[in-house]
Amino acid sequence: MTADLQSVIEKLVSGGDITREEIILLLENRNEEIKTYLAQKASAVARKYYGNKVFVRGLIEFTNYCKNDCYYCGIRCSNKNASRYRLTREEILECASHGYDLGFRTIVLQGGEDAYFKDDLIADIVKSIKSEHPDCAVTLSIGEKSFESYKKFFDAGADRYLLRHETADAEHYAKLHPSNLSSENRKQCLFNLKKIGFQTGAGFMVGSPYQTTGNIADDLLFLKKLDPEMIGIGPFIPHKETPFADMTAGTLELTLFLLSIIRLMLPTVLLPATTALGTIDPRGRELGILAGANVVMPNLSPVSVRKKYDLYDNKICTGEEAAECMNCLKRRIESIGYEIVTDRGDNVRYVKEH
């Protein structure tokens, strides 16, 4: 190993800031030894702040209508073969209560950008969940909205918001999205969310089409600058009815390495081992935890609509009831010496500050 590479690794492990060039050096020269070392250090950092606890989030995918046309996504508006659904307000509240009974203390409402769900309706749903289950955190993941809309959701009681930045590079962004969407607006949304007071989540797909090592370095530096409470990364997986049907999927190997780097760069961040990671490898989520992740997000949506929230091919857990996924995950997490906890699971930084 060169002295340069060695010093980058030591800097990362000791919590120092690494530069774009250093990240690229690390990515281009990674080997088994480095990956194992960083995974050990990263999982030790996660254990320092969160013990051997893994937080669960109950995900309700409440609509797959979407006005956007992102080239990678199976529910893009141009996919005429997508079978569209939206849950009613009552169905959403029922799912949330079922999740509560199963032990979930964070409910994530995720959906496409669906004009049917006007701000007031979203605010009303958030308010209802919060008043029925005051000890639950509510997370929204419903895309790009105005500052005023975000503020409305926050005032209604929403605690957190997930909006992956997808890629920090404007040119790369333009290769993944039609021209009405911009990386600039995406980032502005994230800064607005933070300003309003949301615990905010950003992130990107690993191995998305046209992604370069330089892009990944920029993504990591953007995350460091934004300093979000949560970061979602998972491998890109092609969907057969999108323009990227024939593109290559992201790898387990690179995703795990990036999870370790992210944990070391942002020590207290809440970092899920995503469903996409579990989809490209049967033990993907367990390996994600061992690489430094500390969150899993099983699905709470009714089984009747599960298959329809079809962002990418072969998504796991589309036939299982929420209780089955909860038990399955419990077993998986315990098999690697961790435990699932019933807790809101806030970022420790947030817990200290509030």
Buried b (16+ CB within 10 A) or exposed e, 254-267: bbbbbbbbbbbbbb
Q: If binding is defined by CB under 6 A, does position 281 make contact with ligand FES?
A: no
Of positions 320, 330, 349, 350, contacts ligand FES by CB under 6 A: 320
The binder of 312, among ligand FES, ligand 5AD, none, by C-beta within 5 to 8 A per type, is ligand 5AD
**Residues 312 to 331 in contact with ligand 5AD, rule: CB under 6 A:** 312
Letters for 272-291 (x = contact with ligand 5AD by CB under 6 A, - = none) are ----x---------------
Q: If binding is defined by CB under 6 A, does position 317 make contact with ligand FES?
A: yes
Q: If binding is defined by CB under 6 A, does position 163 make contact with ligand FES?
A: no
Q: If binding is defined by CB under 6 A, does position 328 make contact with ligand FES?
A: yes
Nearer to ligand 5AD, 234 or 345 (CB): 234
Q: Which stretch binds ligand FES (CB under 6 A): 68-76, 116-124, 214-222, 316-324?
A: 316-324
Letters for 282-301 (x = contact with ligand FES by CB under 6 A, - = none) are ----------------x---
Instruction: Tell me the C-alpha distance between 35 and 33, whole Å.
Output: 6
DSSP letter at 166 equals B
The binder of 276, among ligand 5AD, ligand FES, none, by C-beta within 5 to 8 A per type, is ligand 5AD
Q: How far is the CB of 354 from ligand FES (least distance, A)?
A: 31
Q: If binding is defined by CB under 6 A, does position 321 make contact with ligand FES?
A: no
Sorted by sequence, the CB contacts under 8 Å of residue 4 that are 6+ apart come out as 25
Q: How far is the CB of 274 from ligand 5AD (least distance, A)?
A: 8
The binder of 254, among ligand 5AD, ligand FES, none, by C-beta within 5 to 8 A per type, is none
Instruction: Tell me the C-alpha distance between 346 and 326, whole Å.
Output: 20
Buried b (16+ CB within 10 A) or exposed e, 97-115: ebbbebebbbbbbbbbebe
Q: How far is the CB of 328 from ligand FES (least distance, A)?
A: 3
Q: Which stretch binds ligand FES (CB under 6 A): 78-86, 95-103, 119-127, 320-328?
A: 320-328
Q: Supply the DSSP string of 28-54, one letter for each residue.
A: HT--HHHHHHHHHHHHHHHHHHHTTEE
Q: If binding is defined by CB under 6 A, does position 153 make contact with ligand 5AD?
A: no
Q: Which stretch binds ligand FES (CB under 6 A): 26-34, 303-311, 321-329, 336-344?
A: 321-329
Q: If binding is defined by CB under 6 A, does position 105 make contact with ligand 5AD?
A: no
Q: If binding is defined by CB under 6 A, does position 234 make contact with ligand 5AD?
A: yes
Radius of gyration of the chain (CA): 19
Q: How far is the CB of 77 from ligand FES (least distance, A)?
A: 28
Q: Where are the alpha helices (DSSP H) in the chain?
A: 3-13, 20-28, 32-50, 89-101, 119-132, 147-155, 170-176, 183-196, 213-226, 252-265, 275-280, 284-290, 303-306, 322-335, 348-353
| Neighbour count for residue 142 (Cβ, 10 Å) | 21
> By C-alpha distance, which of 260, 259, 263 is closest to 233?
259
> By C-alpha distance, which of 184, 195, 91, 114 is closest to 151?
195
**Residues 196 to 225 in contact with ligand FES, rule: CB under 6 A:** none
Report helix, strand and coil shares of the chain as percent, to nearest 5. 45, 15, 40
8 A C-beta contact, residue 236 and residue 195: no
> By C-alpha distance, which of 339, 243, 286 is closest to 50?
339
Residues contributing to the site for ligand 5AD (CB under 6 A): 72-73, 164, 166, 205, 234, 236-237, 239, 276, 311-312
Residues contributing to the site for ligand FES (CB under 6 A): 298, 317, 320, 324-325, 328-329
